[in-house]
């Protein structure tokens, strides 16, 4: 039986290589092992990794692989933690889009940009910045490695959250289907033209096809900014003030940390790095003197300003006129005061806006602990209940969490006038995997003591994550990065699920495109 499997695998890889070219097919053990891991999970090693340099090469390779009966599993930058490219049910080819990273066309008249799917958010941002342009929603904090195509498949939010998630910036896709056909989903300047085909392929976590090219909307970059950070006395004050700020549309970015997560933030990096980030930002805005002053403020504030802060909220107002954004920040301050909050040093939003795509060193804890989030989007009316139920879950498991050194924090972000993100995160002692060792900066990695395998702590984290997902489910939360983690089918109207299943059959009749993603087979 084993000999037959090897022979079958060899024949399939030969067919893949013949179609896509030897330079695009990787089969060495180290590469296959690396691509069996995401930030959180480990799956089966792919039979081969297809790394195409052209869209045509991608299409030929996909068609050849599925023609041999192999499943196709697409991967963007690999920064996900929900099993989007983790597969264990049989032989498969993983598609690594990292070599498809060209910025094809920038149209400042029609305000659009077209990129290949492997282009990172950081590369796109750095290319558009000198032109004074960006996308309305312009990436996640992991954008140094996270790819635009992955964002369109997994969905994501952070920068530009007031404008929606990243898929709201998309106009059209070119998608390679399971049989190798390349399908364009719509107009390159207006969405939608008829039923929203772009929307049907957005946030599919690779279940319907492999994103090859993406056309996105552009907007003018802001030229005036105001920054505010605030201490809130409790979760009710934090959530209430975030909701009020979102309702008024005052902040372009509004995000918060609980006490544990902000303490973790203060342990990382250095004041020198913070000051350097600000210097670079201010100099790029043409103010060397302002750069020096802001850098000095960061060093003077140090890392102690969050020491006794229960919850911290960080906001950025942006626009075209400094007087207008200063007025918006003043209004934010009034809302904070009404909820019992006070202003604190605003280093954090300045630093993050100066360096929007930092190295992904925070995918490990300060000593090398493993890290994984879980999240839910909730209407503002259910935020307090969700928070208190999650805290109750921790209280029920306090003894085990203390014994196994499992720690929990949370990030929150207002994403619209209707919804807010709650993202609990866990840290626990456990061994790193190859993705951590490849993604974390080498100098930072050397400083981490690391840990041996921690199966008992890992199991507790899995149990707690499942408990939080159940809480979110009972409150009708929605999710990004659905992949193999969040219960899409249970959350949809049965008739809506039937439509989704029919679409899957139409674009992937043999069920070979990322089987199991979204809960679809």
Domains with residue ranges and CATH for the chain: 2-97 (3.30.43.10), 103-220 (3.30.465.10), 223-358 (3.30.70.3450), 361-482 (3.30.300.330)
Q: Which pLDDT score is estimated for 308?
A: 79
As a whole number, the mean pLDDT across the chain is 92
Residues 6+ apart with CB under 8 A from 156: 139, 140, 146, 165, 166, 480, 481
User: Which residue in 50, 40, 408 sits closest to 260, CA to CA?
Assistant: 408
Identify the residue with better confidence: 261 or 286.
Answer: 261
Count helices and strands (H / E) in the chain.
Answer: 19, 19
How far the first Cα of the chain sits from its last, in Å, is 26
CA–CA distances in Å: residue 391 to residues 9, 242, 258: 49, 19, 12
Task: Give the whole-angstrom CA distance, residue 89 versus residue 27.
Answer: 19
Share of the chain above pLDDT 70, in %: 91
Task: Give the whole-angstrom CA distance, residue 450 versus residue 432.
Answer: 7
Q: Which pLDDT score is estimated for 263?
A: 74
Q: Which pLDDT score is estimated for 7?
A: 44
User: Which residue in 469, 377, 462 sits closest to 415, CA to CA?
Assistant: 377
Average pLDDT of 203-230? 97
Task: Give the whole-angstrom CA distance, residue 248 versus residue 332.
Answer: 9
Is residue 253 predicted with pLDDT exceeding 80?
yes
Q: Which pLDDT band holds residue 347 (cuts at 50, 70, 90)?
A: confident
Q: Which pLDDT score is estimated for 37?
A: 97
Is residue 3 predicted with pLDDT exceeding 90?
no
pTM: 0.92
Is residue 416 predicted with pLDDT exceeding 50?
yes
Average pLDDT of 292-304? 54
Q: Is the dihedral of CA 263, 159, 426, 429 positive or negative?
A: negative
pLDDT of 155-183, one tens digit each?
999 999 988 899 999 999 999 999 999 99
3-state helix, strand, coil in the chain (%, to 5): 45, 20, 35
User: Which residue in 96, 3, 82, 99 sits closest to 43, CA to CA?
Assistant: 82
Choice among 12-26, 80-94, 268-282 with the minimum mean pLDDT:
268-282
Element holding 212 (H helix, E strand): strand 210-217
User: Which residue in 120, 417, 469, 373 sits closest to 254, CA to CA?
Assistant: 417
Q: Which pLDDT band holds residue 276 (cuts at 50, 70, 90)?
A: low
Q: How is 160-197 classified by DSSP, letter by letter?
A: TGGG--GGGGEEEEEEE-TTS-EEE-S-SS-S-SSS-H
Average pLDDT of 476-501? 96
């Amino acid at each position: 039986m084993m000999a037959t499997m090897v022979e079958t695998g060899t024949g399939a890889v030969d067919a893949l290589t013949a179609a896509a070219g030897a330079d695009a097919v990787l089969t060495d053990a180290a590469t296959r092992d690396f691509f069996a891991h995401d930030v959180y999970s480990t799956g089966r090693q792919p039979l081969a990794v297809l790394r195409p340099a052209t869209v045509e090469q991608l299409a030929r390779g996909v068609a050849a692989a599925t023609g041999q009966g192999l499943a196709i599993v697409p991967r963007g930058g690999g920064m996900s933690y929900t099993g989007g490219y983790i597969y264990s049910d049989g032989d498969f080819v993983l598609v690594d889009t990292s070599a498809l990273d060209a910025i094809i066309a920038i149209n400042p008249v029609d305000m659009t940009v077209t990129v290949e799917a492997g282009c990172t958010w950081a590369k796109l941002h750095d290319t558009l910045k000198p032109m004074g342009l960006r996308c309305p929603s312009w990436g996640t904090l992991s954008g140094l490695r996270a790819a635009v195509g992955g964002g369109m498949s997994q969905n994501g939010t952070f920068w530009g959250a007031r404008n929606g998630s990243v898929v709201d910036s998309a106009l059209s896709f070119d998608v390679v289907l399971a049989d190798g056909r390349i399908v364009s989903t719509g107009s390159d300047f207006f969405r939608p033209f008829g039923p929203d085909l772009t929307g049907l392929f957005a946030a599919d976590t690779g279940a319907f096809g492999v994103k090859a090219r993406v056309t996105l909307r552009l907007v003018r970059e802001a030229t005036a900014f105001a920054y505010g950070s605030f201490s809130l006395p409790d979760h009710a004050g934090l959530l209430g003030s975030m909701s009020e700020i979102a309702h008024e549309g005052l902040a372009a970015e509004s995000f918060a940390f609980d006490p544990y997560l902000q303490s973790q933030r203060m342990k990382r990096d250095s004041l020198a790095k913070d000051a350097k980030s600000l210097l670079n930002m201010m100099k790029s805005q043409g103010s060397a003197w302002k750069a020096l002053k802001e850098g000095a403020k960061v060093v003077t504030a140090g890392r102690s300003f969050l020491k006794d802060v229960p919850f911290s909220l960080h906001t950025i107002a942006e626009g075209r006129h400094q007087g207008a954004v200063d007025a918006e920040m003043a209004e934010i301050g009034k809302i904070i005061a009404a909820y019992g909050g006070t202003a604190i040093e605003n280093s954090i939003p300045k630093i993050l806006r100066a360096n929007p795509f930092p190295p992904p060193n925070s995918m490990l804890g300060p000593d090398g602990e493993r890290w994984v989030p879980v999240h839910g989007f909730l209407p503002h009316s259910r935020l307090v209940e969700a928070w208190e139920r999650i805290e109750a879950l921790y209280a029920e498991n306090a003894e085990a969490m203390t014994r196994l050194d499992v720690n929990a924090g949370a990030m929150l972000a207002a994403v619209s006038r209707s919804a807010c993100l709650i993202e609990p995160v866990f840290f626990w002692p456990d061994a790193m995997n190859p993705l951590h060792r490849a993604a974390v900066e080498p100098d930072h990695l050397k400083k981490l003591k690391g840990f041996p395998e921690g199966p008992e702590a890992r199991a507790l984290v899995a149990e707690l994550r499942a408990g939080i997902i159940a809480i979110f489910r009972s409150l009708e939360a929605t999710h990004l990065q659905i992949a193999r983690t969040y219960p899409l089918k249970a959350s949809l109207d049965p008739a809506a699920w039937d439509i989704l299943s029919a679409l899957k059959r139409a674009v992937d009749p043999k069920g070979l495109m990322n089987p199991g993603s979204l809960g679809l087979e």
